[in-house]
Structure 1
């Protein structure tokens, strides 16, 4: 885990997560700083700035579980 300053793109990602839901910014920052395990910093660095946008939406749980015994 490194304590160096976040890049402007990384900061934009952290701010986007925090704006979407308070508290998620800290989770995003932790994932960026633990890049050796998560790869987040590399993904952010490889993503064009124009694609780092906050969007609103929803998702549904699409998991299907097989029933056992009945």
Structure 2
């Protein structure tokens, strides 16, 4: 696992996942740090800051969930 310091955008993603559901922040951080396998850090780096927002929506099965991104 990569122990490199997280960028502000990566930290924002982790915090948003954790706020959506406790425990998801650790999973998001793991995915970011394992970028060579997941690509998460590259995706976050390529995503404009304005698009890193939490939104609520509904899926086709009508459950409500929090979403990160567009």
| TM-score in terms of structure 2 length | 0.82
Give the deviation of 1:56 after TM superposition: 1.3
2: distance between equivalents of 1:28 and 1:58? 22
1:18 maps to 2:18: yes
Does 2:45 correspond to 1:45?
yes
Number of matched pairs: 61
Structure with a larger share of its residues in strand: 2
Query: For 1:12-45, what per-residue CA distance to the aligned partner results, in whole angstroms no more than 9, with x for missing partners?
Result: 0000000000000000000000000000000000
Q: Scaled by the length of structure 1, what TM-score is found?
A: 0.82
What root-mean-square deviation, in Å, do the aligned CA atoms of Structure 1 and Structure 2 show? 1.0
Q: Is there any run of 5+ residues in structure 2 with no aligned partner, and where?
A: 62-70
- Partner of 2:2 in structure 1? 2
Deviation at 1:59, TM superposition (A): 1.5
